[in-house]
Amino acid sequence: MDGNEGDYLRQRAVAVRQAVYGRDVFIRGLIEFTNFCRNNCYYCGIRRDNRHAARYRLTEEEILGCCREGYRLGFRTFVLQGGEDEYFTDEKMCRIIRSIRSNHPDCAITLSIGEKEAASYKRYFDAGADRYLLRHETANEAHYRRLHPEEMSLRRRKECLYALKEIGYQVGAGFMTGSPGQTVDTLYEDLQFLRELEPHMVGIGPFIPQRDTPFGGEPGGTAAMTVTLLSIIRLLLPRVLLPATTALGTIDAIGREKGLMAGANVVMPNLSPKEVRKKYALYDAKICTGEEAAECIECLKKRVRSAGYTVVCDRGDYR
Ligand code: 5AD
Ligand code: FES
């Protein structure tokens, strides 16, 4: 793609985003509450076989504390993200969800805890969860095999996404750009799948190698490619909630600003306690691991403003 095509794509994406959401950028407080995971995805730094990962779990009290602090800072969406950690049984998850719901009735609760039975998804929903993030990672069978061990399957991943939608969640899918084995053809299938699923949210960020994983020596994705895909997805799904991700901010000092200027409209600052942030290391050199939540939100507000947008403090639901 030459410079002019890129500019044109971006302009179109920004116009579509402007028509639906104006200049608003929504913030989501991310709480990385466990890095224990039973899965072994080849790209991921918290995969089961990574002996170098320093494992941690937040207590219910700590999680609620993050929400309290987040609420004070203006967050009205909390994202509970973690590995697939069997310690957090459905009972425990439901108790946490109910507590957040009763402490903060005006907030949205987003879960990002992987593949579960539909019955479990239903229990979390009934306990008060509103949204669920589960990236499909790739919609191409062979590519899915390249990224995941035998015991995982694309079919199951897709079933989970459809089950979540059926239950009534606002659902997020997505994938990494530049993951090993990704081609124009696999990306085409990703877009076809997104068009079919019609998710409310799409998480897109560059693949960044993590040194203790089987893909530690593979090349990473680029900011340019990520930004191009953000624009394409904005045009494909005009009302989608589209984050400018931390991974994009990690490979490019102004990556998130570039994402916003290409059609993204969400940022997800970290609300996890400072002591554990470095340990939620899906990839190397992750940004914002040394900041307090308050510093991070101030920094992001400045960045959002510098891109010509404004942070709004409401739930930021799908329109
Ligand atoms: N680089 C970038 N993103 C990653 N993720 C996992 N590992 C990496 C990595 N090495 C993404 C996956 C997952 C999300 C939580 O983080 O897409 O769904
Ligand atoms: Fe976290 Fe800038 S966004 S410090």
Q: Give the number of the ligand closest to the Cα of residue 179.
A: 1
CA 6 to centroid of ligand 1, rounded, Å:
26
Would you list the DSSP string of 145-191?
A: HHHS-TT--HHHHHHHHHHHHHHT-EEEEEEEET-TT--HHHHHHHH
Closest CA to 248 of 143, 178, 144, 146: 178
DSSP designation for 221: P
Task: Give every CB contact of residue 158 below 8 A, 6+ residues apart in sequence.
Answer: 136, 193, 197
296 lines ligand 2 (CB under 6 A): yes
Residue matched to tokens 């090349």: 219
- Find the ligand nearest to 301 CA: 2
Query: Which pLDDT score, from 0 to 100, does residue 2 have?
Result: 58
3-state SS class at 38: coil
Residue 256: the pLDDT is 98
Residue 285 belongs to what domain range? 3-312
* Cβ of 176 below 6 Å from ligand 2: no
Which pLDDT does position 261 carry in this prediction? 98
Q: For position 185, which CATH number holds?
A: 3.20.20.70
Q: How many structural domains does the chain have?
A: 1
Domain-embedded: residue 221:
yes
The ligand whose atoms approach the alpha carbon of 306 most closely is: 2
Would you say residue 187 lies in a domain? yes
- Domain for residue 175, yes or no? yes
317 within a domain of the structure (yes/no): no
**Does 44 contact ligand 1 (Cβ within 6 A)?**
yes
Q: Does 319 reside within a domain?
A: no
Write down the pLDDT at residue 4. Answer: 83
Query: pTM to 2 decimals?
Result: 0.97
Ligand 2 atom with the shortest distance to the CA of 287 = 1
Which residue's alpha carbon is at the smallest distance from atom 4 of ligand 2?
296
Q: Which ligand is nearest to the CA of 287?
A: 2
| pLDDT given for residue 5 in this prediction | 86
207 CA distance to ligand 1 centroid (A)?
7
Ligand 2 touching residue 300 (CB < 6 A):
yes
Asked if residue 252 is part of any domain, the answer here is yes
Per the domain annotation, does 169 fall within a domain?
Answer: yes
Query: Residue 265: its pLDDT value, please?
Result: 98
Mutating to test ligand 2, I would choose from 75, 245, 286, 287 the residue with most ligand atoms within 8 A of its C-beta, which is 287
Question: Is residue 243 in some structural domain?
Answer: yes
DSSP string across 66-88: HHHHHHHTT--EEEEEE---TTS
Profile the chain (319 residues) by mean pLDDT over runs of 10 residues. 82 98 97 98 98 98 97 97 98 98 98 98 98 98 98 98 98 98 98 98 98 98 98 98 98 98 97 94 95 91 96 92
